[in-house]
């Protein structure tokens, strides 16, 4: 059953080319460059119709000189309509919708081209947990760096602080196959596999690898897409919750105390702690509050699962206690009753979802647990 949604819409398309998205800047939009206009009163009922519109009816003017870096991707655009993701730009409805709704409106389809990747410097410092160098100075660290995060090594006092900032420095790399792979992957995986039979080794492994890889200050510079990403070498289980930023110290100290009180409960390194601004997205874990994401991990050496249930439940209990909200793409045990307490606008979102998908076409077993 098609749903008629009145109002004015912009449907934005993010075109993925060579594993990155390209978005046009606002100046180009203002000049009318690469805007697909003149399709008023269209009825776009399916994604296929949108793709056909892009492929058959749209032409692409030459980009302005200010986007000269886009020349290399320009020839690819016309041949990649199938990579389009459509986003419904209406503030009172979902911001990311794929539905079979009939949209009777003035429609403008837009292509976006992201600015060229900028250089970023990555600096890693060793710190001590017990001296309060990190937790007692979070505001100072957040002011010093555009992208500040830190890694805590459970069963120890060791912390690695990471600053990532725009820079004019030329690319430089601290990559080294021996340390990054021979030690940081192959040796670590072997020792973690041994520890699956002797769990008491985990604390020693965490301390040993901090000493091997993180006790010296390291600095490197490269383009942003290389600095902000990393190779995930291990099979793993993870949990990641967002808590109010002011609860960071309380939550981490309680997690540390629980591990110390229960020696048989082990935790692989690292516990990653990072920060983000609040937003106004109804089901964002950062909805209406500046947040700290606290990510825990348990590796699966050679594919072997290791006991983690006690650690998982302890962590979730602490996260709920301090007002946490789970990352939607990570493991959690929450149900609708939990989400109603966590999200002030949860019922509003549910009403919107039911309006846009009254027959439950886009529900699955996981979403039924979330919404019912």
The total number of structural domains in the chain stands at: 3
Helix (H) or strand (E) holding 176: none
pLDDT in tens, 211-242: 999 999 988 898 888 888 878 888 999 999 99
296 vs 123: CA distance, rounded Å: 22
Q: Is residue 3 part of a domain?
A: no
178 vs 174: CA distance, rounded Å: 12
pLDDT tens-digit profile, the chain (372 residues): 222 233 333 333 333 222 223 333 333 333 333 323 333 233 333 444 444 544 444 433 333 333 333 333 333 333 333 233 333 333 333 333 323 232 323 333 444 434 456 788 888 988 887 667 899 999 999 999 999 999 999 999 999 999 999 888 888 877 788 988 999 999 999 999 999 999 999 999 999 999 999 999 988 898 888 888 878 888 999 999 999 999 999 999 999 999 999 999 999 999 999 999 999 999 999 999 999 999 999 999 999 999 999 999 999 999 999 999 999 999 999 999 999 999 999 999 999 999 999 999 999 999 999 999
Q: Is residue 235 part of a domain?
A: yes
97 vs 9: CA distance, rounded Å: 12
Could you give the dihedral angle defined by the CA atoms of residues 233, 235, 239 and 245, in that order, rounded to the nearest 10 degrees?
-10
Q: What domain range includes position 180?
A: 119-326
Q: Is residue 250 part of a domain?
A: yes
Q: Is residue 4 part of a domain?
A: no
Q: Tell me the pTM.
A: 0.70
79 vs 174: CA distance, rounded Å: 38
Q: Is residue 331 part of a domain?
A: no
129 in the same domain as 106: no
Q: Is residue 100 part of a domain?
A: yes
For 163-183, what is the HEC assignment? EEEECCCCCECCCCHHHHHHH
pLDDT in tens, 237-246: 999 999 999 9
275 in the same domain as 298: yes
Cβ proximity of 306 and 300 under 8 Å: yes
Structure token digits, residue 95: 């911001």
* Residue owning tokens 């389009």: 84
Which among 201, 206, 192 has a CA at the least distance from the CA of 156?
Answer: 206
φ, ψ at 125 (rounded to 5°)? -120, 140
Mean pLDDT of the residues in the chain = 75
Pairing of strands 104-111, 9-17: parallel
3-class DSSP state of 193: helix
306 in the same domain as 178: yes
**Which CATH number is 184's domain given?**
3.40.462.10
284 in the same domain as 137: yes
320 in the same domain as 340: no
206 in the same domain as 63: no
Which among 198, 210, 270 has a CA at the least distance from the CA of 234?
Answer: 270
Q: What is the pLDDT of residue 127?
A: 85
* Residue owning tokens 């039979």: 197
Q: Is residue 225 part of a domain?
A: yes
């Amino acid at each position: 059953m098609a749903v008629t949604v009145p109002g004015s819409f912009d449907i934005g398309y993010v075109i993925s080319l060579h594993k990155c998205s390209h978005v046009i800047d606002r100046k180009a939009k203002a000049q009318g460059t690469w805007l697909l206009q003149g399709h008023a009163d269209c009825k776009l009922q399916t994604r296929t119709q949108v793709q056909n519109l892009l492929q058959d009816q749209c032409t692409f003017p030459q980009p302005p000189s200010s986007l000269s870096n886009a020349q290399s991707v320009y020839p690819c655009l016309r041949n990649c309509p199938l990579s389009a993701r459509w986003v419904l730009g209406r503030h009172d409805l979902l911001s990311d919708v794929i539905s079979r709704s009939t949209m009777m409106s003035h429609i403008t389809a837009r292509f976006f081209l992201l600015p060229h990747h900028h250089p970023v410097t990555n600096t890693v410092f060793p710190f001590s947990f017990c001296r309060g160098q990190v937790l007692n100075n979070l505001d100072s660290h957040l002011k010093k760096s555009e992208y500040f995060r830190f890694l805590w090594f459970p069963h120890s006092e060791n912390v690695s602080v990471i600053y990532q900032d725009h820079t004019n420095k030329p690319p430089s790399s601290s990559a080294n196959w021996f340390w990054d792979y021979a030690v940081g992957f192959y040796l670590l995986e072997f020792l973690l596999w041994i520890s699956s039979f002797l769990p008491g080794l985990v604390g020693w492994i965490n301390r040993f690898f901090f000493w091997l890889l993180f006790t010296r200050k390291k600095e490197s510079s490269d383009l942003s897409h290389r600095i902000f990403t990393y190779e995930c070498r291990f099979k793993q289980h993870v949990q990641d919750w967002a808590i109010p930023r002011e609860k960071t110290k309380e939550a981490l100290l309680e997690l540390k105390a629980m591990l110390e009180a229960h020696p048989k409960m082990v935790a692989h390194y690292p516990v990653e702690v990072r920060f983000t601004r609040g937003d106004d997205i109804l089901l964002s874990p950062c909805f209406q509050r500046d947040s700290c994401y606290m990510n825990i991990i348990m590796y699966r050496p050679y594919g072997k699962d290791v006991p983690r249930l006690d650690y998982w439940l302890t962590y979730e209990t602490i996260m709920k206690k301090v007002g946490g909200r789970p990352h939607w793409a990570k493991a959690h045990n929450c149900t609708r009753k939990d989400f109603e307490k966590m999200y002030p606008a949860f019922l509003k979102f549910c009403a919107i979802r039911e309006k846009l998908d009254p027959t439950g076409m886009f529900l699955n077993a996981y979403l039924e647990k979330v919404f019912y």
